[in-house]
Amino acid sequence: MKNAHMKDAVALSDFLSLLQEQIHEGKVQWDELKVVHTLDEYRQQQDLNRGPSFSTIAAFGPNGALIHYKPSLETNRIIDNSSFLIIDSGGQYLDETTDVTSTFHFGLATQRQKEIYTRVLMGAIDLAALVFSDSIADSHVDIIARQNLYQVELDYHHETGHGIGSFLNVHEMNINSKEPHRFRANYFFSDEPSYYLPNEYGIRLETILRVVDVKMTVHSARIAVH
Ligand SMILES: [Mn+2]
């Protein structure tokens, strides 16, 4: 899992470096579908890659506010420096499955946008850093990722994360499902808090976390880390 995530990060970093450079130069026009095709090609160059783990999502400006958005010829938007761009993508590798989301702004974000992005990021970090008892169900940790948004009366209307397979399903059971599950060591799941302002923009950050055992003096517990 770790090895494939490193390969996947290389493909993504190479692609993002190209995208950022060309958007700042302004000579090449980028749109959502060009992001999808180019990023998919970068991943395919990685060892043991067998294609995307789901249809790559590139969502600019108002399209980013649509939770289940997937670009098409009818909805495709040109990417400029006026709003947020969400890129949510993953790869199938013989040694793993990946799923990662980043949000970018290539111009100047407003103070309000910076605050909301920061609160989404704080939620993602809080969940990644959580130490918890092994009696805790997956649905109980969801609040951790939302608390910083709740403080300013904001929220997002989807689950915070889902289990992920290894060269299997990219979306396994949700961690905020009605049927709670106990965490076990080496359970891998996504940490993806977000915020959506209808008709304006979306912000979503996603990493895959791994549950690991920690020894505590009082009783055994588990900690989730990258
Ligand atoms: Mn995901």
| Ligand 1: centre distance to CA 68 (Å) | 11
Quick one: tokens of 116? 């909301």
What is the domain-level CATH number for residue 128?
3.90.230.10
| Ligand 1: centre distance to CA 192 (Å) | 7
Q: How many domains does the chain have?
A: 1
Q: Is residue 121 over pLDDT 80?
A: yes
Mean pLDDT, the chain, whole residue set: 93
Whether the CB-CB separation of 213 and 185 falls below 8 Å is answered with yes
- Which of the two residues, 168 and 177, has the higher pLDDT score? 168
| Ligand 1: centre distance to CA 142 (Å) | 14
The mean pLDDT of 27-47, rounded to a whole number, is 97
Distance CA 120, CA 122 (A): 5
Q: Is residue 56 over pLDDT 50?
A: yes
- The amino acid that residue 220 corresponds to is S
Q: Sign of torsion, CA 10 16 17 22?
A: positive
Residue 58 β-bridge partners: 87
Of 167, 85, 195, 181, which is closest to residue 134 (Cα–Cα)? 181
Residue 141: give the domain boundaries: 2-225
Q: What is the pTM of this model?
A: 0.93
Q: Is residue 225 over pLDDT 60?
A: no
Ion ligand 1 contact residues with beta carbon within 5 A: 99, 190
Whether the CB-CB separation of 105 and 84 falls below 8 Å is answered with yes
Whether the CB-CB separation of 61 and 84 falls below 8 Å is answered with yes
The mean pLDDT of 152-181, rounded to a whole number, is 88
Q: Is 105 helix (H, G, I), strand (E, B) or coil?
A: strand
Q: Is residue 220 over pLDDT 60?
A: no
Query: How many residues in total does the chain contain?
Result: 226
First to last CA, the chain: 11
In which band, very low, low, confident or very high, does the pLDDT at 91 lie, cut at 50, 70 and 90?
Answer: very high
| Ligand 1: centre distance to CA 127 (Å) | 15
| Ligand 1: centre distance to CA 216 (Å) | 31
| Ligand 1: centre distance to CA 205 (Å) | 9
Q: What is the pLDDT of residue 219?
A: 56
| Ligand 1: centre distance to CA 53 (Å) | 10
Between helix 111-128 and helix 142-150 the angle, nearest 10°, is: 160
Q: What is the pLDDT of residue 137?
A: 87
